[in-house]
Amino acid sequence: MECVIYDQAGRSELVECELPDEACRLALKRLRGLRDGEFAWVRLADPSEDELVQLAEELGLHPLAVEDAVHARQRPKRERFGDVLAVALKTLWYVEDEAAVETGEMMLFVGTHYVLTVRHGVVDPCAEAARRLDAAPDMLRFGPWAVLHAVLDVAVDAYSDAAGRVRAALNRLEDQVFSTSRVDHTQAIYSLKREVREFRDAVQPLVPVVQGLLGGPGGEEHQAHSAPYVRDVADHLHRTDIEVRTLDELLNSVLDAQQARVGTWQNDDMRRISAWAAIFAIPTMVAGVYGMNFEHMPELGWTYGYPLAVGLMAAASGGLYRAFRRNGWL
């Protein structure tokens, strides 16, 4: 567990400990004595249920809130538990080597004098959010809502970065689909489409959550000051949501193009097969006629009958080959 306590002057004090040791008990005891203008940010990474239950008792969290934080399978959402606001969101990053979108989850509990963040997954937006708060101490005047804004801002920036990487992967896939090589990229397209759908599941439900924060439960004075910052995050998220929807539609178009190309390849193959079958049909026909062994056949006893038959077969086959080549069948 990490606990950062901010005072009125914007100074911070970091306490790192493991529940339920003495340092953690002292940090939690100090939380109960925070004054106006002070707030604490408690950070947990992949906690056990016992740790969360113990912390919930100290912070007065609702049991349903604890249940949501323990089971990391929540859709992005925003809920109220008394005077505590709970926000669930998905962390997201793009793995270049695997061309895959990986997701984690984070729950934020915003109280009067504290923020509790519970992270599941590899990526930790809290570290970057803390760095941004240290670089802009004036944001701390918003209290716990400054942490909520910073974490949302970092998560949405990560969405935007991942969307750009997915766009680059899609562009490479498009170049491969429309290249001269006859390689079927259907599996790669479906794989990327599955990743984009996972991306949409993280971004799309978060849009109304952030929009709802613009009319948040804080006082009117707080809303007037913080609304521009939340609106900025909402605008970035909305732009990313449009980008992800566009990527999904483009993947549908690329898949249709790949299927059309596969159909074209099959038609080309059938035309070539049909052309060669027509070319070989003429020698087969001539040989078949002269192989019936009738006694009275034209030129049967002629000295040059055999060369004439072979020449006829070669000339007719060559004429068909030339005609098919001219029309692009061969």
| Residue 153 confidence (pLDDT) above 90 | yes
What domains, with CATH codes, occur in the chain? Answer: 2-261 (3.30.460.20), 262-326 (1.20.58.340)
| Residue 22 confidence (pLDDT) above 70 | no
| Residue 286 confidence (pLDDT) above 90 | no
In this prediction, residues 3-22 reach a mean pLDDT of 71
Q: How many CA atoms lie within 13 A of 148 on its CB side?
A: 31
Pairing state of beta strands 114-120 and 39-45?
parallel
Q: What is the CA radius of gyration of the chain?
A: 35
**Cβ contact 52:66 at 8 Å:** yes
Helices (H), 204-219: 206-213
**What pLDDT was estimated at residue 117?**
92
Q: Which of 46-55, 73-82, 285-294 has the highest mean pLDDT?
A: 73-82
Q: In angstroms, rounded to a whole number, what is the distance separating the alpha carbons of residues 223 and 216?
A: 7
Q: In angstroms, rounded to a whole number, what is the distance separating the alpha carbons of residues 59 and 111?
A: 9
Residue 308, amino acid: L
Q: How many CA atoms lie within 13 A of 124 on its CB side?
A: 11
